[in-house]
Structure 1
């Protein structure tokens, strides 16, 4: 069993899913907590930003084995801007048009956007830049 777990965690995609799951759980828990004190859309935005910071650090260190840097941190918003555009649009559609309860909408959004987020995260974090800053 230990070997199976070790092999699984040696796989970049599995590590990405583990980080994603921890980000999702923490973000969702903070979202639910925040909705007791504020509107759901504001709570979602705050929990999203907190998840963004955790995701960058964990993906850099553990998933892609790259030291965090200001350069990659400044590029990382490309991941979340792309994912956020899709997520916030989906949130409005799911809650306002389809009638999905606001407590469940973030979970549907996560499942729908994981593949996009993985591909963009990997490209942004691993991207090498030249010494000339190109």
Structure 2
């Protein structure tokens, strides 16, 4: 298994666990709070857990204040997509508010991985291929 594939699989496992944590918190909070307040609160708490799981397990990096403060960037797209999706699914399509967040979350996963990887491991610039001699003279 390549390192990249292993990282993607670990990210998926963390995502499943993090989704379970989020959903459990959301379910509990929405018993006493409006569903959007429950969503935001559960999302923030799950994001903190996700940061540490992704540092230690997915990307195998040391947590730092810098990456902790930047990590929410990896969830901005996720948050916007899941929040909008939750609202649309509940309001427009009458999807049960206990199930809607799971459906909305599926769309944002690839974007979250890409940004999380950039934040936690740094950005590596691809090296341009060398220019062959015949390409220089044309």
TM-score bracket relative to the smaller structure: 0.7 to 0.9
Q: Give me the TM-score of the superposition, normalised by structure 1.
A: 0.84
Q: Alpha-carbon deviation of 1:82?
A: 2.1
- Equivalent-residue separation in structure 2 for 1:82 and 1:114 (angstroms): 9
Q: Give me the TM-score of the superposition, normalised by structure 2.
A: 0.81
Bigger Rg, structure 1 or 2: 2
Deviation string for 1:80-112 (max 9, x for gaps)?
122211211111111111211111111102211
Q: Alpha-carbon deviation of 1:38?
A: 1.3
Q: Give secondary structure in 1 for the equivalent of 2:96.
A: coil
Q: How does 1:1-134 map to 2 (within 5 A)?
A: 11-127=6-122
- Equivalent-residue separation in structure 2 for 1:27 and 1:46 (angstroms): 9
Unaligned 5+ segments in structure 2 are: 124-138
Q: Give secondary structure in 2 for the equivalent of 1:66.
A: coil
- Equivalent-residue separation in structure 1 for 2:32 and 2:74 (angstroms): 29
Q: Which runs of 4+ in 1 moved over 6 A?
A: none
Q: Give secondary structure in 1 for the equivalent of 2:33.
A: coil
Once superposed, what is the RMSD of the aligned Cα atoms?
1.7
Number of positions where the alignment pairs a residue of Structure 1 with one of Structure 2: 121
Unaligned 5+ segments in structure 1 are: 1-6, 129-134
